Every structure is written in structure tokens, then in C-alpha cells.
């Protein structure tokens, strides 16, 4: 049974879906005013990996992740670029889709946009006003946080301390409009030359928190299984989502809250973020490294743990990924001379590894322990590939398990294609040179092929090649 760490209860719990065999997940998506940085990608990769594991375990997953396509940052950036907010959103949604595809992140079941759900947002806010949970102030609409008795439980904060912290901030016009400093905006009155929509309380646009309450319940129902996002969203974003949603519906909002750790950078492990200006965009990074290396680097750290980003840690991931690729190639190469039948001893070892892999991953998606079993499987594959007799059914079972496990982490190995005629001729010439004991020419050809990115490996079963 799968165990998940629930931020709300701060305990590890047995996952019990609302509907047998189905998982409904909502994960907060990006604000699309720039390219995503690898901190944003960490969240997308972490929850894509979780989604894939649920699917591996036989669940049908409905996965919703939004685009915030209107807010203060987007308005400011659009004005700076001399374009409209929708044009800015379209540009960076397309960039997000391109970058996440390169990282082999599966598209969500739906990617709703805030601006596509304005009527639903307005209707949601009106219910909160009617129930006394929200109030209008000079065209803005605010939520009465103190009225919601469970406010602060997700982030484990005392509401009186929150009030004291809010009171210490500089008093501005917005604070003066609020009944209580901890109240938060559901709707922001329109300012000159800003994008806006008409609402019963005046022209304006939605606040950030309300959109996720609206879109998650619209697509998944008043109560759903899992709500996910980065640790930085616990407060105030997710705290406010709970307050809004449960005040409106009278139902529990999400049964399990999962939060991924930060990506840190530098010797002092500073959190990577756009606001701090210390970020690296996925768009730029994947021009320099294999996107699969970045995916593997992030997917193989347990989602709640921080990831330290550096050139050294990326290189370690690349080296480990290459070792797995070699194991895959080694066993794939033996497909040319397999014998019929099954190897019961190897099958028994694979069964034990499979059980250990599932046990590790069932424990709150413990990918580090899961990867230990992947490396053990790679070791088994390397050893088996050197055997004089390789059984077809067992070879296929090993490769199938290996590729299936790696796909959970978003890694896909494909057999290399045929060499072009020039390289094929060089390989034939090298084989002839070795037959004639012309080792000088054989080594020359090896070096020439290496210069073209082809590494040769002489094995007991013959010469095989791989790309660097």
C-alpha cells in the first residue's frame, strides 16, 4: 500500500483514494510571464514522477495543473514588453510546453487558464460574499480569514501571530481597506490601462489564490485526493485555497497535501527563485545539456528533499545515467544471439528486485531507495549479458522491467539507429583488420570512430558500439 506524507497532518498516511483505482490530483502551475526556471521544473518533474508511479501501480490518474495568466507580475511584464497580457501568456505557455516536453513531462489531463474561468471565479466569490466570508471594499473583495476556524492549520501557524506579522508591515491604502490585516484579496479593482473584467462589485481581475480554488473544484469536484505544489506555496497560497474552498462548499477540500522541496544554489544553499535573481531557466540549460540528464537529476531525489544544483551534481547525474544506458545497450546487444526458453535463477533475482523496488517507492515515493534497486537491476543485466547462453524470455523480461521502472523517472532509452554507410564501412574494415592481425589499422579506425562520437566495445560476443 502506498504511503504519502500529508503536510496537513504532518504524518505519513496510507493513501486511500476517494474512488477505487482512481487518483484525482491538482498541482499548482506556473505564472507565465517568463521561461520556467529549474525550481519550477522541480515541482513539475516531482509530481509527474508521482503521477507516473500511481499509473505504474494501476491507478487511473486525472491530473490538473493550471496556468496563472493574469496577475501583477504579468501586467508589469506585458507593459515592459509593449504587448498585451494575453499575448505574453500565449508566448510563455508555448515555451512551457516546449520545455516540459523536452523534459518528458506528460501534459496534464487539463491545463486550465485563469482568464478562461472568469465567470466561475465571479460566481465563486459571490457565494463567499453571500455567506459572509467575504466583503467588498472600494471595488476590491477580501476574504475574512479569521472567520474560517481552521485558518493556519496547513502551515502550522497561529492566527494571532499572523495578525501581528501583518500589522508590522507598512500601512498602505490596501491595508486600510481591510477589516483585518490578515484578510486577503479575492478580487482586485481595476486600475487605469490594466486588463479587467466586469463583476457585480465593479471592474477588476481575480486575486491569485481564488483561481486555484475555482479550477481545482471545477475539474475534480468539491473534494479530491491530492493537492500538490512547492513548499513555498504552503502559506499563504494553499492556506488560502483551503479557507476559500471549504467556506464555499462546506466540504473537505483535499484529502492529502504534498509539497516538494526547493532547488538550492551556491555554498549557502540559497533557494532558487526569480525574485532573488539567482535562477537558471530550463530554456537556456537544455541548450547546453541533454534534457534527459536534467530530468534524471531531479527525478531521482525524493520529492520532499531539497536539491542542490551545481555543475558537479549535474555531471554525477549524467555519469549515472550513462551507466544505466550502457547496461541497457549491453543486454539489448545480446538479442541477436538469444536462445529459446527462460532462466529461472535470473527470474528469481528479478522477482526479488521488483518487490524491493515497489516497497521503496510505496514509501512516500522514496526514489533514492527505488533507484538502488534500479542500479541492482542494471548490475544483473550487465552480468547476464556476459553469459554464454542468454534466454530470450528472460532477456525480454529484464529489459521490460528496466525500461518500465526508468519510465517512472521520465527516462526512456531507445536502441540506436543504423550507422551511416561511411561508419558501417569503417566497422567492416576494422573487423577485417583484426582478422588479419593488423592491430595498428584496427586502432586507427577505433580512434576515427571515436572522433565521430562512436565508442566501440569488444566483447566475447563480438564488437558492439554506442554513442558517447
* Residues in the annotated binding site: 28, 212, 237, 241, 274
Q: What DSSP string runs through 240-303?
A: HHHHHHHHHHSS--EEEEEEEPPEEETTTTEEP-TTTT---BHHHHTTTS-HHHHHHHHHTS-T
Residue 363 DSSP symbol: B
Distance CA 159, CA 167 (A): 12
What lies within 8 Å, CB to CB, of 136 at 6+ separation is 129, 201
Backbone CA torsion sign across 150, 151, 153, 157: negative
Are residues 233 and 42 in contact, defined by beta-carbon separation less than 8 angstroms? no
Apex 464 CA angle, 463 and 468, nearest 5? 130
* Residue labelled with grid coordinates 473537505: 252
Angle, vertex CA 411, rays to CA 46 and CA 25, nearest 5: 30
**Which residues are documented as binding site for Zn(2+)?**
28, 212, 237, 241
Helix axes 392-408, 38-56, angle to 10 degrees: 140
Q: Which three cell numbers stand for residue 211?
A: 483561481
Residue stretches of the annotated binding site for ATP: 274
DSSP letters spanning 188-230: EE--TT---B--TT-SEEE-HHHHHHHHHHHHH-SSEEEEEEE
Residues in CB range of 216: below 8 A, 6 or more apart: 26, 64, 224, 227, 241, 245, 254
Give residues with Cβ within 8 angstroms of 468, minimum separation 6: 450, 453, 454, 455
- Given a contact cutoff of 8 angstroms between Cβ atoms, the answer to whether 143 and 243 are in contact is yes
Euclidean distance between CA atoms 121 and 70, whole angstroms: 13
Q: How far apart are CA 49 and CA 38, in angstroms?
A: 16
Amino acid at each position: 500500500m502506498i504511503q504519502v506524507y500529508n503536510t496537513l497532518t504532518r504524518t505519513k498516511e496510507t493513501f486511500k483514494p476517494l474512488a477505487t483505482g482512481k487518483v484525482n490530483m491538482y498541482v499548482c502551475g506556473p505564472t507565465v510571464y517568463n521561461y520556467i526556471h529549474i525550481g519550477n521544473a522541480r515541482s513539475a518533474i516531482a509530481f509527474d514522477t508521482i503521477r507516473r508511479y500511481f499509473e505504474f501501480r494501476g491507478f487511473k490518474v486525472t491530473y490538473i495543473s493550471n496556468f496563472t495568466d493574469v496577475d501583477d507580475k504579468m501586467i508589469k511584464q506585458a507593459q515592459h514588453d509593449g504587448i498585451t497580457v494575453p499575448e505574453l501568456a500565449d508566448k510563455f505557455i508555448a515555451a512551457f510546453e516546449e520545455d516540459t516536453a523536452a523534459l518528458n513531462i506528460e501534459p496534464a489531463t487539463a491545463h486550465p487558464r485563469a482568464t478562461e474561468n472568469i465567470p466561475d471565479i465571479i460566481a465563486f466569490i459571490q457565494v463567499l460574499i453571500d455567506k459572509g466570508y467575504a466583503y467588498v471594499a472600494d471595488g476590491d473583495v477580501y476574504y475574512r480569514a479569521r472567520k474560517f476556524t481552521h485558518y493556519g492549520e496547513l502551515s502550522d501557524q497561529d492566527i494571532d501571530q499572523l495578525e501581528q506579522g501583518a500589522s508590522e508591515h507598512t500601512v498602505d491604502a490596501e491595508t486600510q481597506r481591510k477589516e483585518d490585516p490578515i484578510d486577503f484579496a479575492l478580487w482586485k479593482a481595476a486600475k487605469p490601462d490594466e486588463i479587467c473584467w466586469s463583476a457585480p462589485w465593479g471592474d477588476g481581475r481575480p486575486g491569485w489564490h481564488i483561481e486555484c480554488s475555482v479550477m481545482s473544484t471545477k475539474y475534480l469536484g468539491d473534494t479530491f485526493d491530492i493537492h500538490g505544489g512547492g513548499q513555498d506555496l504552503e502559506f499563504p497560497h494553499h492556506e488560502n485555497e483551503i479557507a476559500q474552498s471549504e467556506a464555499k462548499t462546506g466540504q473537505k477540500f483535499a484529502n492529502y497535501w504534498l509539497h516538494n522541496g526547493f532547488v538550492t544554489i551556491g555554498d549557502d544553499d540559497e533557494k532558487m527563485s526569480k525574485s532573488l535573481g539567482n535562477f537558471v531557466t530550463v530554456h537556456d540549460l537544455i541548450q547546453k545539456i541533454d534534457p534527459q540528464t536534467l530530468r534524471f537529476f531531479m527525478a531521482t531525489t525524493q520529492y520532499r528533499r531539497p536539491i542542490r544544483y551545481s555543475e558537479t551534481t549535474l555531471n554525477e547525474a549524467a555519469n549515472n545515467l550513462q551507466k544505466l544506458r550502457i547496461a541497457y545497450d549491453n543486454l539489448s546487444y545480446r538479442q541477436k544471439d538469444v536462445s529459446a526458453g527462460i532462466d529461472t535463477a535470473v527470474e528469481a533475482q528479478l522477482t526479488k528486485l521488483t518487490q524491493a523496488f515497489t516497497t521503496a517507492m510505496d514509501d512516500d515515493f522514496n526514489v533514492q531507495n527505488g533507484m538502488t534497486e534500479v542500479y541492482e537491476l542494471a548490475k544483473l543485466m550487465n552480468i547476464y549479458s556476459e553469459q554464454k547462453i542468454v534466454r530470450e524470455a528472460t532477456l525480454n523480461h529484464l529489459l521490460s522491467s528496466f525500461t518500465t521502472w526508468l519510465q517512472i523517472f521520465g527516462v526512456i532509452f531507445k536502441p540506436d539507429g543504423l550507422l551511416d554507410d561511411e561508419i558501417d564501412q569503417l566497422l567492416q574494415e576494422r573487423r577485417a583488420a583484426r582478422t588479419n592481425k593488423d592491430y595498428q589499422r584496427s586502432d586507427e579506425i577505433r580512434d576515427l570512430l571515436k572522433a565521430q562520437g562512436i565508442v566501440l566495445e569488444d566483447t566475447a560476443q563480438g564488437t558492439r558500439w554506442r554513442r558517447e
